Structure 1
Amino acid sequence: MTEDQFDSQLADCATQTEAFLAAHIATLDAPERLLAAIAHGTLGGGKRLRPFLVRLSASLFDVPHEKSLAVGAALEMIHCYSLVHDDLPDMDHDELRRGKPTVWKAFDPALAILAGDALLTEAFALLSDPRSHPDPAIRAELVLTLAHAAGSAGMVGGQVLDIEGETNPLDEDAIFTMQAKKTGALIRVGVEMGAILGNANSTQRAELIRFGTAAGLAFQIADDILDVTATSDALGKTAGKDVAQNKSTIIARNGLDAARKVLDDAVVNGLDALENFGPSADRLRSLIRHFADRSH
């Protein structure tokens, strides 16, 4: 697959996800100002990488794109809620996200908290809807899998470890654990949810989870590298905040060269996990390379 073909397919998924989210948000029964804050934190930006992971994983099992769209959108709502809350003054205190003011900055912190709460709740409402899958057993498995990845055992727990690491520096193993939960969990679960939609067998699902774990690590390490090498304009968010906030990262602990070695190894591990899927997994191979090579 050429880079242009990959970029075109990623953009197509982003366009479809954006349209689905816009239409879904418009149906919500909520105060106008809350809807505006939800839309601000969800629409008009982002590559929609997590929905793309769902799409590519599901497509390995011949699931049509339209059949994975709602599931990808639900995952993206979880991701957007996490960003809205991450940016709050009591968390990362960030004023810029996707090239525009963060939700708390554009509105106020209280409304940003509530907008994030609404996105979290509505994501599970969508996932439990027949639009996600006609089989209620599959929907229940999707809900449970995403809840585990997004909650205390996954993203939320990782965020706590990240905050604690600002005052009590984490060792190398703890940094990897924190990053696998905080960022990696939603990357990994996107791949796993695609496998669930495709009725993957236990071996296939395990291999895709291994790929998702490696992809999550590659994404986070690349993000850490960009934080110290790119500008805020290029990133669309504040650069240099890891150092400013004394974040525990592999770069802070072992240096930039060591982080690049971790990144390279993660890509190799991810590609190895896809070996049994043959050419049908080429787009996933392109995606993990995209994670490693991205400039923003």
Structure 2
Amino acid sequence: MKELYQKLENEQIGKIRLNEPLSKHTTMKIGGPADIFVEPNSIENLEKTVRFAREADVPFRVIGRGSNLLVDDEGIRGVVIKLGKGINHLEIENDVLRVGAGYPMVPLATIMSKKGFSGFEFAGGIPGSVGGAVYMNAGAHGSDISEIIIEARVLYPDGTLKWVSKEDLNYSYRTSALQFDGGICVEAKFKLTKGDPEKIYNDMKSFKDYRHRTQPYDMPCAGSIFRNPLPQHSGRLIEEAGLKGYKIGGAQISELHANFIVNTGDATAENVRDLISFIKKTINDNSGIDLHTEIEIILSQESN
């Protein structure tokens, strides 16, 4: 591990830290240390990081802004690669947007709306980054990434880097092919529509304000915990079961929106996992419906 760390340092890959607490890099403020934490300063150096880790037979894991993530209290063994600054380029040519995976969604939606480009209004309140949004087909307010994406540039675990079409990303509700083949989105192209900047901005702001009124983003959380078992909605099922406000340790079902679990200050990943299990059992006992998590839960022994 030390040899890999030294090699990454010598190559000036970007920011590198040993035993970095991942609670600093998740919106739930939960997570133990990463053995090696890397924030590459370019796509080329991301490729190098993945290649060096594979050559050293060290497991690696890629994260974005940590907004849809629950990391184990024991942390993550191996290398954690954060896509952020350095992979956050943005280019607009005619009505096509090309943007790096590390670009945060909320500022992106705001910038596009002010420039009069429609398509990203739904993302005005989504706290993740472009890479994570592409990976999970993030969406809200009746739209999602699959509605606007043209193609994504994907780095695969074997080192292959190529553009993948929307069709081959195989999108469905909160799901993409990347969740099954280990691909890392490094950038994406989106098809936008030119319109009235004032109307587009107001629509985006309206969606953003609605999310902030109805969801507990003033507390550490990871977004929606469960996928909606359509036509039902997880939040409604949990609320009807009388579980709003229920706590295990420092983890609490939000009083504002029942499909959110908030960290009241000292929650552990174990608290959150126990609360998720309790919710799933209660809903299944009450209605026979199996809830499935939308957040990604990473256990310390998991690796690529």
Q: Which has the higher helix share?
A: 1
What TM-score comes out, normalization by structure 1 length? 0.28
Q: Which has the higher strand share?
A: 2
Larger radius of gyration: 2
What TM-score comes out, normalization by structure 2 length? 0.27
